[in-house]
Amino acid sequence: MARLNWGMIGGGEGSQIGPAHRIGAGLDGHFTLAAGAFDVDPERGVAFAGQLGVSKDRAYGNWRAMLEGEAGRADRVDLVTVATPNATHYEITKAFLENGFNVLCEKPMTMTVAEAEDIVETAEKSGCICAVNYGYSGYPMVRHMRAMVAGGELGQVRLIKAEFAHGFHANAADADNPRIRWRYDPQQIGPSAQFADCGIHALHMASFVAGQEAEMLSADFVSCIASRTLEDDAMVSFRMSDGAVLRLWTSSVAVGRMHGLTLQVFGEKGGVSWEQEHPNQLYWTPVDGRTQIIERGAPDLSPEAQRASRVTIGHAEGMPLAFANIYADLAEVIAAAKEGRAPDPAATHYPTALDGLRSMAAISAAVESASGNGAWIDARPPSLRS
Ligand code: NAI
């Protein structure tokens, strides 16, 4: 595969998620970091671009300059990652799609359902890829769980339990710290805090693995720290498209929980369980059988898990390598389009704008439900209701 040119917006020095993208995109040698507008502060962004080896003429002070500069080049970037704060995603992603660029946008894709519907439409019109970084779906054993469900090993899925609960915003004395306060400020974050930030990862993972989408939901939001307007803990029940029930718990005040993303899927023939903090093992229990540990890197894994697995069995593979699998999928699909061939079908399962839209609809429905005593609300985007 010929090397592809890659650009980043946001993800500047000291940012939380920028490094994981750079490790992920760089891992397999498919992408060269060719351009970037890395920082809200133009000078800092240009200096950081130089540090990363981006040439001076492609180290941009802001994303509009990058759009203009790259649009005029024969060797324009093949993929742009948008890793800026949430409220900027819509405007930047839309502008790049309209100018013919493939985009990988951080989650949440937009701030509203209407914006998300617009991004899906814009991507369709442009013919460009619009992926959304539900990067945890790149873990090999998550892909193996999905293959187990799709291959019928669990039979009909009855129940799903998903959690994304950490304890890092639990200190009431720290709640007014500006680094934390904005995360619970509706002016800056929209109508949901913890569910929109972490809950949607768990929801995406449940849908991705079970092959079912959210149809109805009932939500209970609480602010355990009284000064917060928005929720720091949520329990949401879902009815899924093929009959499964999903129970989802997300929290930022669960002291002692670390990253806290877990998934359990219970079917008529057995149950499977995975924890992101121990991502290389899957626990599988057939009905009336013994619990077995399935290891990443074992020889009889699904092709999807083999493809996503890089280092030998027994060595840890973690989050930036899961992101690398999203980048590897995108590289294959972009290269195939450039070479006029069909992509490897195993590379086509990356999360898309449609997943971003479904999340935005779920956030909106959960906010409505939580403010209406947990009433059951249609969780589907308006354009996907039939
Ligand atoms: P951060 O605040 O640590 O970093 C944001 C970076 O974007 C900074 O370098 C800042 O200077 C830059 N920036 C801000 N506005 C910009 C603009 N207009 N143009 C160019 N650069 C700009 O934020 P963090 O935590 O890295 O989050 C960024 C995004 O990534 C958020 O949307 C967040 O939800 C998402 N995220 C996703 C995760 C995942 O697992 N997929 C995990 C953590 C964050």
Give the rounded percent of residues in the chain with a pLDDT score beyond 70.
100
**Which residue among 16, 46, 198, 350 is best mutated to probe the pocket of ligand 1, counting the most ligand atoms within 8 A of its Cβ?**
16
345 CA from centroid of ligand 1 (Å): 31
The finding on whether 39 has its CB within 6 A of some atom of ligand 1 is yes
Residue 175 has pLDDT above 90, yes or no: no
* Residue 342 Cα distances to 104, 123, 232, 294, angstroms: 21, 20, 45, 32
Q: With beta carbons less than 8 A apart as the criterion, state whether 37 and 63 touch.
A: yes
β 292-295/102-105 pair status: unpaired
Confidence of residue 68 (pLDDT cuts 50, 70, 90): very high
The finding on whether 355 has its CB within 6 A of some atom of ligand 1 is no
β 31-37/4-10 pair status: parallel
28 CA from centroid of ligand 1 (Å): 23
The finding on whether 351 has its CB within 6 A of some atom of ligand 1 is no
12 Cα nearest atom in ligand 1? 9
Residue nearest to atom 17 of ligand 1 (CA): 40
Task: Say what the pLDDT of residue 187 is.
Answer: 87
328 CA from centroid of ligand 1 (Å): 22
Question: Residue type for 43, please?
Answer: E
The finding on whether 9 has its CB within 6 A of some atom of ligand 1 is yes
**pTM for the model:** 0.97
Q: With beta carbons less than 8 A apart as the criterion, state whether 382 and 113 touch.
A: yes
Residue nearest to atom 19 of ligand 1 (CA): 40
Confidence of residue 1 (pLDDT cuts 50, 70, 90): confident
44 CA from centroid of ligand 1 (Å): 15
40 CA from centroid of ligand 1 (Å): 10
Q: With beta carbons less than 8 A apart as the criterion, state whether 195 and 219 touch.
A: yes
Q: Rounded to whole angstroms, how far apart are CA atoms 343 and 314?
A: 31
C-alpha closest to that of 130 among 163, 107, 147 = 107
The finding on whether 83 has its CB within 6 A of some atom of ligand 1 is yes
Q: Rounded to whole angstroms, how far apart are CA atoms 278 and 113?
A: 34
98-109 pLDDT, tens per residue?
A: 999 999 999 999
78 CA from centroid of ligand 1 (Å): 21
Which range among 26-30, 39-43, 153-157, 183-187 shows the weakest confidence by mean pLDDT? 183-187
Residue 176 has pLDDT above 90, yes or no: no
Q: With beta carbons less than 8 A apart as the criterion, state whether 280 and 316 touch.
A: yes
* Burial (CB count <10 Å: 0-12, 13-18, 19+), residue 68: exposed
**Which residue among 8, 15, 169 is best mutated to probe the pocket of ligand 1, counting the most ligand atoms within 8 A of its Cβ?**
15
**Which residue among 13, 22, 40, 142 is best mutated to probe the pocket of ligand 1, counting the most ligand atoms within 8 A of its Cβ?**
40
Q: Rounded to whole angstroms, how far apart are CA atoms 12 and 70?
A: 19
The finding on whether 320 has its CB within 6 A of some atom of ligand 1 is no
Average pLDDT along the chain:
97
The finding on whether 7 has its CB within 6 A of some atom of ligand 1 is no
364-376 pLDDT, tens per residue?
A: 999 999 999 999 9
Residue 333, CB half-sphere, CA atoms under 13 Å: how many? 23
Alpha carbon 193 to chain centroid, angstroms: 16
